[in-house]
Amino acid sequence: VRLCAEESRRLADAHSDAVREAEASLRGRGNRAAPEARIHLADHYHALSHHKKVKKILAPLFAADGVDELWRARALARLGWAELFLGDLDHALNQFNASIAILKPTHHHSDLSFALRGLGTVRQAQGQLHEAIEFLHGALAASQRGDRQTEVARCFASLGMAVRMRGDYLFSIELHERCLAECASEETREMQGRAHLNVAVPRFLIGDFEGAEQAVKCAFRIFEETACARGVGLASVLFSRLARYRNNVREGHQFADVALKIGQESQYMRLEVLALEEKSDCLTMEGNDLAAAKMLGDALTRAKKLAPKGDLAYEVLWRLSRACRAIGHIGRARALAEQAVELTSTAADARERALALLTLAMVRHDIGSAAEARDLVQETIEVFRKLGAAFDLAQAHEIAATFALDGEDDGRTAIAHLHEAARLYARTGVGHAATAAEERLRSVEASAGFPSVPAAVADGTPGTVIAVSRAMRDVIAMARMLADYDNTTLIEGPTGCGKEVIARMIHSSGAWADREFCPLNCASLPKHLLESELFGHRRGAFTGAESDRVGHLEAAGDGIVFLDEIDKTDKVFQAKLLRVLEDRKFIAVGETETRDFRARILCASNRGLRLLADTGAFLPDLYYRLAAGRIAIPPLHERPEDTEALAELFLDQSAERYGSRRLAISRGARVALLTYSWPGNVRELKNVIELAAFMARGEKELKPEHLPTEVAQALERGGQRTLASHIEEVERREIDLALRKTDGSRTDSAKLLGISRKGMLDKLRRLRIEDW
């Protein structure tokens, strides 16, 4: 978009001309009330963000006698919106309540909706999100009984923004898409453009930059067609953000300049502030922090003029705090960050509060409050993770890594944070940031003396975890982060994928490294023996109990108890385990007295426990207790990079075991190994390679004929795959990934994939996906 000044003037809205005409009309009426004309002019003032003029033009309606109650109610609602945007929430609340009291007994449903929507927005600004959403639902119901479809659309938009502030980004997108459906006529094209922009924002926040870009492009086309200058400006702000995320600062500046020019010429101060924010972000990326600070100072003046406690004020505050910090004005930075935290807390804006807290954490770190800084950044990580704000979360992990390296950390914590940052940047498509994080990660690993593939186990015995694929690197990063976590951890994945491997890695990486590791397979024992193994028993407690026995919980001491195949236990055992975890006490079989235990519990399951809990096959309360920390290991067929590397590792082990020459893998055998589906995962691969190495002893290469028949036949299938089979494989992988992201929820997975729930169930049946 390259708009010169003449083009931006051509696209300017007609509100200014309408204002001049309405003002001239009112001057001709003298001091008469003229409610309809005044409300018409107030609406134009509101569109231009001239909220003080709204109050001034409506004041005579309350001083004059004989003004109809309906017009008075309409004026009160508009005064409420003006007070809201000026930041006087208490007065706004009073105006909306007064308007609603007049309108409720009438049949003017659209006017009532307008006032209720305002009341809901005030409650939202006051941090009462639950109450706000209730009022907005009331507004939607009233609008649907009214005669203005545009008000219905606006109610969906307001609800979408409220739930976005709550952090429910997917639902926000759905509501804004409903808004789009309600304003599908040619007369509401500008509203359609705003709805597309409102769809783009939560897509940005969840890291769906491609979807966000498509939405902004749709909005921009509409605003161009309708000559809506302010809409073009708002779309340009988002185009600038996209350019920045893609490391194109020059283009970011250009789009921000367009937005700023339009904001100034159309007298739309909100757009000016947003454009100044974008310009400052571009300057920060260029390292020009002094210019950024000056620009943000100007933005803060404008934001406070619009609404001293509004969203623009606190957005600018934390940005200005970061700029002041960068130029060495730490005291000023601290004061600004604290103001931002206070305002965002009042507004209950979860994401912006987390950004303000992250800023405060950086300032605290600079002044030497390291422990407080680490606590604050950890709090923001939890918020961003809960919100699903991938890009923000990646940045928080990078900052946490910096704090860890500046402290007494031996490198493990920093490495875990950098792994997660690189993964999140890659997921959102921010390639330059992912590359930078990975380079920093390699540097930290080298200086800390840790190999890039961390030490752990591959088959239940000491060895090496192969983590060539990003999926397994993510698993390892999560395991490292949970190594010092003292609560329960759940490890999920198909049979043979290495769940005990990860459990032992957690044990060896954290504070438990020099303590006991007590594994117990829950599926291998009948119920009474399982309880005996875990809790211990007294002599004579059951047939065969010839002496007292100490159970795993007690024997582990301060170490770790690993319960494998927890999904195979019955509900009675699950209820007992839940009570044990909650009370930190157990009763040995045949005893009545409780005993304390100190061990950490790790559990593993071959199936998705979330689905089992939802269907009643697993105790829901126990699931939520176990899943306090959760690691999902992908099957081997989804990570062929690891297949090849693991095969090389197992050949090394076989050569050492048999004292023979290390075999190379022929091209044909390599294709077969990569094409085979490995239903038994790593365990099956290890057995296949060991047998093949034995069969090929004396040879230089491992060839297809050394492999088992079903694996060797994969070589033929690898060269004869049809388009249909490729599509089926892609579908299977995407569905499995969506199910893992949503803890096995069919409904949420369907939404993630953009299909109906029925379509999801049909695909599960057709592809015979049953593990979840």
Quote the percentage of the chain above a pLDDT of 90: 38
pLDDT tens track for 208-251:
888 899 999 999 999 988 888 889 999 999 999 999 988 999 99
Q: Are residues 751 and 646 in the same domain?
A: no
Candidate from 12-16, 262-266, 568-572 with smallest mean pLDDT: 12-16
Residue written as tokens 């009073």?
A: 94
Residue 568: domain span: 466-632
Q: Are residues 574 and 553 in the same domain?
A: yes
- Residue 80 vs residues 89, 163, 406, 607: alpha-carbon distances, Å: 9, 22, 50, 54
Assign 578 to helix, strand or coil: helix
Looking up residue 683, the CATH number of its domain turns out to be 1.10.8.60
Who wins on pLDDT, 8 or 495? 495
How many other C-beta atoms lie within 10 A of the C-beta of residue 271?
Answer: 25
Reported as type and span, the H/E element at residue 686 is helix 681-695
Q: What is the pLDDT, as a whole number, of residue 770?
A: 58
Reported as type and span, the H/E element at residue 284 is helix 269-285
Residue 555 in domain: yes
Q: Find out whether 671 and 638 touch, Cβ atoms under 8 Å.
A: no
719 band by pLDDT with thresholds 50, 70 and 90: very low
Contacts of 167 (CB under 8 A, 6+ apart): 350, 351, 386, 387, 388
Q: Are residues 544 and 687 in the same domain?
A: no
Q: Between the CA atoms of 203, 207, 210 and 216, what dihedral angle is there, to the nearest 10 degrees?
A: 40
Structural tokens at position 151: 């008000």
Give how far the C-alpha of residue 113 lies from the chain's centroid of Cα atoms, to the nearest Å. Answer: 32
Q: Find out whether 332 and 295 touch, Cβ atoms under 8 Å.
A: no
Q: What is the Cα–Cα distance from 513 to 506, expressed in whole angstroms?
A: 8
- Total residues belonging to the chain: 772
Long-range contacts of 298-303 (CB under 8 A, 24+ apart): 299/272, 299/273, 302/269, 302/272, 302/273, 302/276, 303/273
Give how far the C-alpha of residue 275 lies from the chain's centroid of Cα atoms, to the nearest Å. Answer: 25
Residue 372 in domain: no
Phi, psi of 463 (to 5 degrees): 180, -135
Q: Name 520's bridge partners.
A: 563
Structural tokens at position 628: 């306090």
Q: In this model, does residue 3 exceed pLDDT 60?
A: no
Residue 479 in domain: yes
Number of domains into which the chain is organized: 4
Q: What is the pLDDT, as a whole number, of residue 614?
A: 85
Q: Are residues 31 and 166 in the same domain?
A: yes
Q: Could you say which of 608, 632, 656 is where a domain stops?
A: 632
Give how far the C-alpha of residue 697 lies from the chain's centroid of Cα atoms, to the nearest Å. Answer: 51
Residue 484 in domain: yes
Reported as type and span, the H/E element at residue 232 is helix 229-245
Nearest to 204 by CA among 233, 176, 232: 176
Residue 377 in domain: no
Q: What is the Cα–Cα distance from 48 to 68, expressed in whole angstroms?
A: 27
Looking up residue 739, the CATH number of its domain turns out to be 1.10.10
Contacts of 629 (CB under 8 A, 6+ apart): 482, 485, 487, 488, 489, 490
Who wins on pLDDT, 741 or 134? 134
Q: Are residues 508 and 568 in the same domain?
A: yes
pLDDT tens track for 473-528:
788 888 888 887 888 999 999 998 889 989 998 888 777 788 999 999 999 888 77
Q: Are residues 174 and 89 in the same domain?
A: yes
Structure pTM?
0.57
Reported as type and span, the H/E element at residue 55 is helix 51-58
What mean pLDDT, rounded, does the chain reach? 84
Q: Are residues 646 and 743 in the same domain?
A: no
Q: Are residues 36 and 119 in the same domain?
A: yes
Assign 604 to helix, strand or coil: strand
Q: Could you say which of 227, 251, 275 is where a domain stops?
A: 227
Burial state string for 429-442 with b = 16 or more CB within 10 A and e = fewer than 16: ebeebbebbbebbe
Q: Find out whether 633 and 491 touch, Cβ atoms under 8 Å.
A: yes
**313-315-318 Cα angle (round to 5):** 105
Q: In this model, does residue 63 exceed pLDDT 70?
A: yes
* DSSP character at residue 634: P
Q: Are residues 510 and 657 in the same domain?
A: no
Q: In this model, does residue 589 exceed pLDDT 60?
A: yes
Q: Please give the span between the terminal C-alpha atoms of the chain, in angstroms, as a whole number.
A: 47
Q: Are residues 12 and 159 in the same domain?
A: yes
Structural tokens at position 518: 């007590």
Nearest to 112 by CA among 59, 61, 156, 148: 148
Looking up residue 596, the CATH number of its domain turns out to be 3.40.50.300
Assign 594 to helix, strand or coil: coil
Residue 457 in domain: no
Candidate from 261-265, 530-534, 713-717, 734-738 with smallest mean pLDDT: 713-717
Who wins on pLDDT, 670 or 114? 114
Structural tokens at position 599: 């061990």
Residue 492 in domain: yes
Burial state string for 353-370 with b = 16 or more CB within 10 A and e = fewer than 16: bbbbbbbbbbbbbeeeee
Structural tokens at position 313: 């004020």
Contacts of 462 (CB under 8 A, 6+ apart): none
* DSSP character at residue 743: T
Looking up residue 71, the CATH number of its domain turns out to be 1.25.40.10
Mean pLDDT of 386-403: 89
Residue 323 in domain: no
Nearest to 602 by CA among 579, 625, 576, 585: 625
Q: What is the pLDDT, as a whole number, of residue 527?
A: 78
Q: Are residues 173 and 43 in the same domain?
A: yes
Mean pLDDT of 48-62: 83
* DSSP character at residue 636: G
Q: Are strands 536-537 and 585-586 parallel, antiparallel or unpaired?
A: unpaired
Q: Could you say which of 227, 251, 266 is where a domain stops?
A: 227
Q: Are residues 151 and 105 in the same domain?
A: yes
Structural tokens at position 409: 């950390």
Q: In this model, does residue 26 exceed pLDDT 70?
A: no
